Structures are given as C-alpha cells and as structure tokens.
Amino acid sequence: MRPISFVALVCLSLGAYAAQAEAPARADAPPPPPMSANDAIDEPQVTITKHAEQTVEEYRVGGKLYMIKITPKVGPPYYLVDDLGDGKFSRQERLDSGLRVPRWVIKRF
C-alpha cells in the first residue's frame, strides 16, 4: 500500500509542477525584428463582417481573396471558393471534397 501512495504523491506533484505558469520573459532579451512589407506571410488574413442575417468571413493570402465563408442566422454555413484563381467563385456546402484516398496495410507492427 505504501508504494502506491508514494507513486500517487509523485504523480500529483508532477501535475502541479506542469501546471505552473511559464516564467516571464527576461527584460534584457532583444525584441523580435519588425516585419517589413516584403516579408512573406503564409497565414491567411481573415476579415469577419457581421450583418443582420448572416456573418461573412473573407480569407485572403497575399492580398488575394480565395475563399468566403457565409454563416446565415438560420441554416448551415456554406463556402464560396475560387478553385482556379480566376476570380470566379463556386458554391460548396462544405470544404470536404468527398475524395477518399485508398489506404492499404503494408505491414503491421
């Protein structure tokens, strides 16, 4: 019984140690370099506009609009996607294309 209580005490103390907040950043550490307009940004920029009947989210990369998500007050959201990059948007009910890649078991470990 004694080893079980010791193991439980160690697990609880490790959990408390892991839950401690991270140490604050050092004051003498240099700040990150500022980003210039020429730096490439890989993350999409999202613009959210709320209207009375719907919410519109516009997704851009490099300033080019490639997807719009429209969430109506009633009903499921749908997407307008520019698949070819020509500025013509096609409506999709969901982003899942339905394409299922075949998977085979090569070796089991």
Q: What is the pLDDT of residues 24-46, one digit of tens each?
A: 444 444 555 565 656 555 678 88
- Lowest average pLDDT, out of 50-64, 80-94, 95-109, goes to 95-109
pLDDT reported for residue 51: 92
Percent of the chain with pLDDT over 70: 60
Calpha distance 80→92 (Å, rounded): 6
Residue of 38, 86, 91 whose CA lies nearest to 62: 38
CB 99 within 8 A of CB 93: no
Query: Which is it for the CA torsion 7, 8, 9, 15, positive or negative?
Result: positive
Distance of CA 18 to the CA centre of its chain: 25
Give tens-digit pLDDT for 69-85: 999 999 899 888 887 88
Predicted confidence (pLDDT) at residue 67 exceeds the cutoff of 80:
yes
The identity of residue 103, as a single letter, is: R
Ordered by start, the domain boundaries in the chain are 45-92
- Average pLDDT taken over every residue of the chain: 75
Read off the pLDDT band of 106 (50, 70, 90).
confident
Q: Candidates 3.90.550.10, 2.20.130.30, 3.40.50.150, 3.40.50.1370; correct CATH number of 45-92?
A: 2.20.130.30
pLDDT score recorded for residue 19: 54
Looking at residue 60, what DSSP letter applies? Answer: E
